[in-house]
Structure 1
Amino acid sequence: MMAVDHDTLIGWLSRLKLTAIRDQLDNLLDEASRADLTIRETLAFLCEREIARKDERRIIMAMKIAHFPHARDLEGFDFEAQPSVDPQQIRELATARWVANGDALLLLGPPGVGKSHLAIALGRE
C-alpha cells in the first residue's frame, strides 16, 4: 500500500468534489477510529456525511432560488382559525407526491385566510 500525505489526500478529495469529507477529514477519521469501524463501515460513514452535506446545500440553494418572502412552516399554521382547511389534506400535500406526479396546486380563498402561509410551508416541505 502506498503512503499518501495529508495534502495529497486533501487535493484528491477536492478534485472529486467531496468537500464535506475534505473539510472535516481529521475529525471524521478520529470519530470512525473511536467507534472502531471497519474500513467498509468507515467508507459508508464518510459517504453518509458527504451526502448529508450535499443534501443540506441543495436545500439551502433551493430555498434561495424560491425567494420565499417569509419563513413559514406547517407547525405555525393555525388550523383552528381556519376550519375550512383540512389538516389531514395539508399533511398529505406536504408529502409532495403531487410535485413528483407533475400536478399543480391551487390555493383559493379571500385575503387573509392563510394561502401564502400554506404555500410557503408546503414549498419548504
Structure 2
Amino acid sequence: MMTTIDHDLLIATLDRLKLTAIRDQLDTLLDEAARSKMTLREALAFLVSREIARRDERRISMSSKLAQFPFVRELDGFDFEAQPSVDRGQIRELSTCRIRLE
C-alpha cells in the first residue's frame, strides 16, 4: 500500500524527471482529471499528453527563433483567391500531415 506523498516531494520529483508541464499545471490537471472521473490509466495518459503538447510547443517555438523568420505566417491567412491555381482542399489535406494509403 502506498503512503500519501507530500506535495512538495511530488513537485520535486516531477522537476527531477523534467516533467515541467505536469509540474507547472499539476493541481489544475488533477482537478480536471477528477472532474472528468478519469481512471488512473486515463489520468496518466492525460498528464503525459499535456507534457508532450508543451514540449512540442516549445520545440516549435525554439525552432522558429533559431530559423530567425522575420514573422510567422499561418495557413489560415493565405489568400487562396489570389492564387487560383492552388488547390485549397489539397493544401488543407497536406497540412494535417496524415498519410493517405491508396
TM-score range, shorter chain: 0.7 to 0.9
- If the length of structure 1 is used for normalisation, what is the TM-score? 0.64
CA RMSD of aligned residues (A): 2.4
Change in CA separation of 1:86 and 1:7 when aligned onto 2, cut-off 3 Å = same
Gaps of 5+ in 2: 98-102
Q: Which residue of 2 aligns with 1:115?
A: none
1:30 paired to 2:28: no
- If the length of structure 2 is used for normalisation, what is the TM-score? 0.76
Compare relative contact order (CA 8 Å, sep 6+) and give the higher one, 1 or 2.
1
Measure, in 2, the Cα distance between the counterparts of 1:39 and 1:46. 10
Q: Which residue of 2 aligns with 1:49?
A: 50
Following TM superposition, by how much is the alpha carbon of 1:4 offset from its aligned partner in structure 2, in angstroms?
1.3
Task: Output one character per residue of 1:77-120: Cα deviation in whole Å (capped at 9) or x when no partner.
Answer: 3344345x5336x8277567xxxxxxxxxxxxxxxxxxxxxxxx
Measure, in 2, the Cα distance between the counterparts of 1:40 and 1:93. 33
Measure, in 2, the Cα distance between the counterparts of 1:81 and 1:60. 29
Gaps of 5+ in 1: 97-125
Aligned residue for 1:13, secondary structure, equals: helix
Aligned residues: 96
Whichever residue aligns with residue 79 of structure 2, its letter is D
Q: Which residue of 1 aligns with 2:68?
A: 67
